[in-house]
A and B are shown apart, each in its own frame.
Chain A
Amino acid sequence: MAVLDVRNLSVDYLADDGTALHAVENVSFSLEEGRSLGLVGESGCGKTTVMMALLRLLPEEGRIVRGQVFFDGQDLLQHSESEMRRVRWRDISMVFQGAMNALNPVRTVESQIVEALRLHTAVEHSRAARERVGELLAMVGIPPQRGRQYPHQYSGGMRQRAVIAMALACNPRVLIADEPTTALDVMIQAQILELLEALQADLNLSLIMVTHDLGMVAETCDDVLVMYGGMVAEHASSDVIFNNPRHPYTQRLLEAFPDVEEPGSTLASIPGNPPRLDDLPPGCRFEPRCECQWRETICAQRGPPLVEIKPGHCVACHWARRIA
């Protein structure tokens, strides 16, 4: 059963002059209980905006203009702010990008996790809260006695573990991790990935991983949603995305990713830049950079709908059925 079901979500940002910029258009996906979904795309493709929108944490200029976000059958977009506050952290929790560098430097790690517990659960006694923090730290591989230390006494990898512990404080059912390993060394990256995998299995967490790193997605996610220019380009299981992608953008993205098992192979870059929000192409968003042999005038005129070409495999390309 889907724990989270996002339907036709669209988000605008209001520019200074009052024009609405379409940052996210018509994004739909569902997340099954205990599964992991990778949300992939270049900077600016709207992947973080989608997550912020479903948690209703958009900045002031952001507007959800359409769509529904069902969690356990209830539409989160209809919730009041106080109802929403109960959902965040307890039901859906997020490890924000760069959160490891946003820990309060003058408070101990323990007291920062206790604060999250106090605000979101009914933990009254400070002793109970501290015990829970010890459990959480142990769960992410930090010796509980180090909870009394300050963030600067932690290495980068440990700070990231502490941030994950904090996100898990209230036993959420869905964990969203936004670029959880960028800026970490390869070995530490692997440690964090291994931790997320273990936590997912042990706690039956449903996981959304937001990243530009295809390798990480291939390693940890069951399903993949590829976004481009604020829209879904392709959505399928990891196996299909990595072995039988049909959207030209997905294909180019894979060609641009170096494979350590094939050293010396050529890397194709994708010429051009992603579209600017104030200058979106009228047709397919990827058309100006697309080098697919089927590209035709229709691509520049009309945006392709997201079509399910095989069960579970959705592609937004006019030529998805012809592209091999």
Chain B
Amino acid sequence: MESRSILEVHNLHKYFPISRGLWSALTRKPRRHVRAVDGVSFAVQRGEILALVGESGSGKTTVGMNVLGLQRPTRGHIRFGGYDVSEWVQGHGPSLEADDGDLASLSRRRRVMTLRERAQMIFQDPYESLNPRQRIFDIVAEPLAIHRLASSREEKEERVRAALETCGLAPADHFWGRFPAELSGGQRQRVVIAGALVLEPELLVADEPVSMLDVSIRAEILNLLHLLRRERGITILYTTHDLATAGFFTDRMTVMYLGRIVELGPTAEVLSEPRHPYTRALISVVPVPNPRRRRKRMILKGEIPNPIEIPPGCRFHPRCPAAVPECQETDPQLRRVTPEHEVACILA
């Protein structure tokens, strides 16, 4: 991998065990798992905005959780800024290189805290992710207290002010004494983003940050994320099921299905020349804001199968409109179709 990558995910697996009934345990039936993420690899360059696109159940949120060290990977590695995050979180010994003097000497807890400082999450629902009884100032300042980053009241105010104003809530003192209920949905989401930014992170994982918002406010929040990248070089992992918003501001896009990446490439290229039948179907159902351009929708029957019993062969074949008999046997791997565009389909 190139050294410019800030984040590298290698062969990530995340399985969740299903509790067995007494009978299954007594008869020693093998324990079954939900295979939420089942072998995912990708790299993100510093300052890049990468979209993780997929329906519910595709594993996109789980990837984000693992990247942030909020879950332990079952298998695979996540390297963030050169350090193996997955191992820190797992509590196995540090696998740090010799030249990372300052970090290697820290305790595991300190290292996880360092990760949190550098990588932050923006949640989906600004109506539920803010404490209704806390004032905006305290919400945004809380991460500073947890990380013991502001030594004085002045410094704290300075950093909260900067974060709020960067997020378009200016002048900050006009907002910080209020409670979340006094703000509109768009303003609340700005507060959520300010709470993430106050630590000055290098990476933001934004999990459907606009899906709960009105269309007119979505543009505002997406433009803000775009601005953060442009002015501060923040790297963003944008998780969504909405290809239209992803198309508007991301550089590259990965399309996930049942725990795997099925297509990965530059956003404009994936949207204009999708190679995987699943990507094509997803694009065809995005509503286009013009009745003159109504298109034939490629509707897939049913829903994503449950990730406990994953179909053999290509995991998409039961719903694939283009499937041939071979698809039932061959599990396609990602392969390059153009220098930056990879697809996991034997027909592509």
Task: List A residues at the B interface (Cβ < 8 Å).
Answer: 42-43, 155-157, 185-191, 193-194, 212-216, 218-219, 238-239, 242-243, 252-254, 256-265, 267-270, 273
List of 4 A-B pairs having minimum Cβ-Cβ separation, nearest first: A215-B287, A263-B247, A190-B285, A269-B220
Asked if B303 contacts A157 (CB within 8 A), the reply is yes
In the complex formed, the residue of B with least CB distance to A276 is B184
In the complex formed, the residue of A with least CB distance to B268 is A263
- Which A residues are in CB contact (< 8 Å) with B290? 218, 242-243, 259
| A261 and B288 in contact, given A213-B215, A214-B215, A253-B215 (Cβ under 8 angstroms) | yes
| Selected contact of B245 from candidates A187, A243, A258, CB within 8 Å | A258
B262 within 8 A of A: no
Asked if B245 contacts A238 (CB within 8 A), the reply is no
Give the distance to chain B from A42, nearest Cβ to Cβ, in Å.
Answer: 5
Asked if B282 contacts A187 (CB within 8 A), the reply is yes
- Which B residues are in CB contact (< 8 Å) with A269? 216-217, 219-220, 223
Asked if A215 contacts B288 (CB within 8 A), the reply is yes
Give the distance to chain A from B103, nearest Cβ to Cβ, in Å.
Answer: 38
A188-B285 Cα distance, complex, nearest whole Å: 9
B185 within 8 A of A: yes
- Which B residues are in CB contact (< 8 Å) with A214? 215, 287, 289
A187-B289 Cα distance, complex, nearest whole Å: 17
- Which B residues are in CB contact (< 8 Å) with A268? 219
A219-B285 Cα distance, complex, nearest whole Å: 10
| A257 and B289 in contact, given A187-B300, A269-B216 (Cβ under 8 angstroms) | yes
In the complex formed, the residue of B with least CB distance to A268 is B219
Asked if B285 contacts A43 (CB within 8 A), the reply is no
B101 within 8 A of A: no
Stretch at the interface among B62-70, B136-144, B291-299: B291-299
Pairs A–B under 8 Å by Cβ, sample size 5: A185-B55, A243-B292, A263-B248, A263-B267, A267-B219
B241 within 8 A of A: yes
| Selected contact of B243 from candidates A186, A256, A273, CB within 8 Å | A186
Asked if B299 contacts A194 (CB within 8 A), the reply is yes
Asked if A256 contacts B216 (CB within 8 A), the reply is yes
Asked if B214 contacts A260 (CB within 8 A), the reply is no
Asked if B291 contacts A238 (CB within 8 A), the reply is yes
Give the distance to chain A from B169, nearest Cβ to Cβ, in Å.
Answer: 13
A213-B286 Cα distance, complex, nearest whole Å: 11
In the complex formed, the residue of A with least CB distance to B186 is A273
Give the distance to chain B from A248, nearest Cβ to Cβ, in Å.
Answer: 13
B165 within 8 A of A: no
Task: List B residues at the A interface (Cβ < 8 Å).
Answer: 55-56, 184-186, 214-220, 222-223, 241-245, 247-249, 267-268, 271-272, 281-283, 285-294, 297, 299-300, 303
- Which A residues are in CB contact (< 8 Å) with B220? 269
A249-B290 Cα distance, complex, nearest whole Å: 17
Asked if B291 contacts A186 (CB within 8 A), the reply is no
Asked if A273 contacts B283 (CB within 8 A), the reply is no
- Which B residues are in CB contact (< 8 Å) with A218? 287-291, 294
Give the distance to chain A from B247, nearest Cβ to Cβ, in Å.
Answer: 3
Asked if B281 contacts A187 (CB within 8 A), the reply is yes
In the complex formed, the residue of A with least CB distance to B290 is A242
A191-B290 Cα distance, complex, nearest whole Å: 19
A32-B86 Cα distance, complex, nearest whole Å: 60
In the complex formed, the residue of B with least CB distance to A252 is B216
- Which B residues are in CB contact (< 8 Å) with A265? 248
- Which B residues are in CB contact (< 8 Å) with A213? 215, 287
| A43 and B218 in contact, given A186-B286, A263-B247 (Cβ under 8 angstroms) | no
A259-B290 Cα distance, complex, nearest whole Å: 9
- Which A residues are in CB contact (< 8 Å) with B241? 185-186
- Which A residues are in CB contact (< 8 Å) with B215? 42, 212-214, 253, 256-257
A186-B288 Cα distance, complex, nearest whole Å: 13
- Which B residues are in CB contact (< 8 Å) with A270? 216, 219
In the complex formed, the residue of B with least CB distance to A249 is B216
- Which A residues are in CB contact (< 8 Å) with B244? 215, 257-260
Give the distance to chain B from A196, nearest Cβ to Cβ, in Å.
Answer: 13
Give the distance to chain A from B54, nearest Cβ to Cβ, in Å.
Answer: 9
| Selected contact of A219 from candidates B268, B271, B294, B299, CB within 8 Å | B294
- Which B residues are in CB contact (< 8 Å) with A193? 287
Asked if B185 contacts A239 (CB within 8 A), the reply is no
* A-B contact sample (7 more), CB < 8 A, given A218-B288, A260-B243, A263-B272: A193-B287, A239-B292, A258-B244, A260-B271, A263-B248, A267-B218, A270-B216
In the complex formed, the residue of B with least CB distance to A241 is B291
A258-B303 Cα distance, complex, nearest whole Å: 25
| Selected contact of A264 from candidates B214, B268, B289, CB within 8 Å | B268
